[in-house]
Chains A and B, each alone.
Chain A
């Protein structure tokens, strides 16, 4: 199984500042057929299902503010939230869909400093 490891486990950032969350996979999640990494980012708020933010490493889901961006390749990925807003307080998860089981990272709790 591919192990997904996020860092940090929790993060406190001031409003208007940048938040950076990292995700590392235990093996490459790059599909050679389309040269695309099978990596997704979610935001989850209490009592709600996960909300899709980013897929294919860097493709922002429709309706997601452009302050959210994804980058990386192979085994190392980053979710960046520019100009943090109060509504961004949540737990963020990465997930690989390269091969089953489609494992998640342990989550990163983002709070306001």
Chain B
């Protein structure tokens, strides 16, 4: 089955950092771009960033620039999103999704990040 499996969410203190994982299962990232989207509780979807598997081409929204690091482990078919200096406004479910051929699919199951003291 083609799917993305996410991990790494949890409770983080303000000012802290979190690294989220997005692992491909049933396919390789070879021609895919990975996109990151988040959704604050009860709110809409917000696109954050995208990257190719080699992390050679990255675009990040202005609101996160300087706080985001994207990395990859091609041997594990996994991409990582690290967000630093977290605040309560970063509390959200974070999703990864692949993009190829005009299609954003599949999506990961999402991982909840809660920023609170």
Contacts and interface: CB of A to CB of B under 8 A. Distances in A.
A38 B102 contact: yes
Contacts of B50: 100, 102
A103 B95 CA distance: 15
Interface residues of A, number: 25
Interface stretch (A17-25, A50-58, A65-73, A82-90): A50-58
B109 to A, nearest CB: 6
B102 A97 contact: yes
A77 B57 CA distance: 30
A102 B35 contact: yes
B27 interface: no
B103 interface: yes
A101 B46 CA distance: 9
A28 interface: no
B66 interface: no
Contact of B45 (A38, A59, A97, A104): A104
A59 to B, nearest CB: 8
B108 A55 contact: no
B88 interface: no
Interface string A33-77: 000101010101000011110011001010000000000000000
Contacts of B11: none
Given A49-B109, A97-B99, 13 more contacts: A42-B104, A49-B110, A52-B105, A56-B102, A59-B102, A61-B103, A95-B47, A95-B104, A97-B102, A101-B48, A101-B59, A102-B35, A107-B45
Interface of B: 35, 37, 44-48, 50, 59, 61, 95, 97, 99, 102-105, 107-110
